[in-house]
Amino acid sequence: MTNLRIRPHGTHGRVQHVTPASAGWTYVGFDLFKLGPGEGTDGGEADREACLVLLAGKARVAVDGRDLGELGGRMSPFEGPGFAVYVPAGAKWQATATTALELAVCTAPGRPHAHPARVIGPDAVEKLTRGRGTNTRYPFNILPEDQPADSLLVVEVVTPGGHTSSYPPHRHDEDDLPRQSLLEETYYHRFSKPQGFGFQRVYTDDRSLDETMLIEDGDVVLVPRGYHPVAAVHGYDVYYLNVMAGPKRTWQFHNAPEHAWMLEG
């Protein structure tokens, strides 16, 4: 079994790199870049679409040579929705930092040039509140299933300190629509203070997979299957960026039956 918790590799350049091969799965890829002003990165694959998420800072972005301008604005992922860019499979992209930049690159299978490249600004991001009490959290839907893409589903969530998230536990690991969809998933975690921490459990009904992990600033957690709740400790809000993809682009999940009573009333 691949280690489900991936620590960042250094503090500069590409500090996270998840591929389907490294994760031992089929669909989701994830990279995280930390760049200084004037530094850049690029990418684009013939058979994989991408969503570039500017977590913090600003960058000038181009797709297939078309300048999309300087994008960004928030200096922290805790400041509310930011900017993202959808890049279809078969297109090449470039990003050049104009300030200190934290850039996530989310990828999954796609059909070449099936959709146009587009900027997803803060006003286009669906802002939600889920849960109640200490289960309240705040998702921002960057690339939901009702927006054009082939495979990718991308959402970011802020969970206040002392709260739980992705909870009650749910899973989406069976290709059995309309009851449930099969989606691989990555979590990229940030904390409101760098010394913050929390916990994430990934487990199946039969406990053939059952791992409970410390999560710290900059960690990626892989969810190949099973339930995957998150707990933020008091004093430290947790942000996570979710990337999901599977054989069908829809999010249909199954709640752990023993905990589903929390959803009543």
Q: Is the dihedral of CA 264, 187, 133, 78 positive or negative?
A: negative
- The C-alpha atoms of residue 12 and residue 43 are separated, in whole angstroms, by 18
Task: Report how far residue 19's alpha carbon sits from residue 26's, in angstroms, rounded to the nearest whole number.
Answer: 9
CB 62 within 8 A of CB 93: yes
Instruction: Report the C-alpha gap between 202 and 225 in whole angstroms.
Output: 8
pLDDT tens figures, 111-145: 999 999 999 999 999 999 999 999 999 999 999 99
Q: Report which of 142, 167, 164, 138 is spatially closest to residue 154, judged by C-alpha positions.
A: 142
Amino acid (one-letter) located at 167:
Y
In Å, what is the CA distance from 256 to each residue of 52, 168, 180, 229?
A: 32, 7, 13, 11
Cα separation, 7 vs 88, in Å, equals 29
Q: What is the pLDDT of residue 2?
A: 59
pLDDT beneath 50, residues of the chain = 1
What does the alpha-carbon distance between residue 254 and residue 200 come to, in Å, rounded to a whole number? 18
C-alpha closest to that of 137 among 158, 155, 154, 156: 158
Domains belonging to the chain, first-starting first, are 5-263 (2.60.120.10)
Distance between CA 47 and CA 206 in Å, rounded?
36
Provide the whole-model pTM.
Answer: 0.97
- Report the candidate in 235, 242, 258, 151 with the shortest Cα–Cα distance to residue 200: 242
Position 1 scores a pLDDT of 44
pLDDT at 79: 97
Burial class (CB in 10 A: 0-12, 13-18, 19+), 169: buried
